[in-house]
A and B are shown apart, each in its own frame.
Chain A
Amino acid sequence: KAGVTQTPRYLIKTRGQQVTLSCSPISGHRSVSWYQQTPGQGLQFLFEYFSETQRNKGNFPGRFSGRQFSNSRSEMNVSTLELGDSALYLCASTDPGRMNTEAFFGQGTRLTVV
């Protein structure tokens, strides 16, 4: 079974631009969650999508948005980029058919805003 795939692996953007990150979950996993990881801040939950609907949302500004397609692939969009958005963005997929299940993480997209 293929793992969680995130593209691209690295991105450099300028302040004010927007960016779209992609995540392909493990086959059969319908839940995709997004996290922001910064040094010293751990993993901050952004949002979770399940069956094309946003099911949970963290405490991030509206500049951060996402969506999920019918094949469970998910995209995350950040508009009007700020320097503080520089981080590693991780997505994780889970199997909602099982209660209390682990999250399988992708390798992440390293976003640098200059």
Chain B
Amino acid sequence: GENVEQHPSTLSVQEGDSAVIKCTYSDSASNYFPWYKQELGKRPQLIIDIRSNVGEKKDQRIAVTLNKTAKHFSLHITETQPEDSAVYFCAASIGTNAGKSTFGDGTTLTVKP
């Protein structure tokens, strides 16, 4: 089955700096890669996603890149703010099985003011 590895497990940055979280996946059939943000005590919520026919997607301060050949994708957050502090999860799934996503173990991001 699919295996998703996520690094780093913890990341601490100064407010205003950039943060990068990387994930690799094993199943070349995976074609949907969402990123979820989970604040303390809350449910995971989608912040950005990318499909396998796209190499990069940006939404304000957040961007995701995908390298299908290398089977890795990354989340980039620029100009970090304290409210970006949360656990971030990457995931991979195959479009026809959208209900089954394989998640990375999560990255705890701390943004210091």
State the CA gap A108–B40 with chains docked (Å): 13
Which chain B residue has the least Cβ–Cβ distance from A6? B43
Q: Which residues of B contact A105 (CB under 8 A)?
A: 36, 43-45
Within 8 A of B (CB), among A16-31: 31
Contact indicator B31/A48 (Cβ below 8 Å): no
Q: For residues 32 through 91 of chain A, which have their beta carbon under 8 Å from a beta carbon of chain B? A: 32-33, 35, 40-45, 48, 50, 55-56, 90
Q: How many A residues touch B, CB cutoff 8 Å?
A: 28
Which residues of B from 79 to 107 have beta carbons under 8 Å from A? Answer: 89, 91, 93, 95-106
A100-B31, A100-B32, A100-B95 known; A56+B44 contact, CB < 8 A: no
Complex-state Cα separation, A99 to B98, whole angstroms: 7
CB distance from B99 to the nearest CB of A (A): 4
Q: In the bound complex, what is the Cα–Cα distance between A37 and B72 (angstroms)?
A: 23
* Known A42-B104, A42-B106; contact A33-B44, beta-carbon cutoff 8 A: no
Q: How many residues of B contact A (CB 8 A)?
A: 27
CB neighbours (8 Å) of B34 from chain A are 102-103
Could you tell me the dominant secondary structure of chain A's interface residues? strand
Closest chain A residue, CB of each to CB of B90 = A42
A101–B49 CA distance with the chains assembled, in angstroms? 9
In the complex, B7 has a CB within 8 A of chain A = no
CB contact under 8 A between A55 and B97, given known A42-B104, A43-B89: yes
CB neighbours (8 Å) of A32 from chain B are 99
Residues of B within 8 A of A40 (CB): 105
B103 touches A42 (CB 8 A): yes
Cβ of A100 and Cβ of B89 under 8 Å apart? no
Is B61 at the interface (CB under 8 A from chain A)?
A: no
Q: Which residues of B contact A (CB under 8 A)?
A: 6, 31-32, 34, 36, 42-46, 49, 51, 89, 91, 93, 95-106
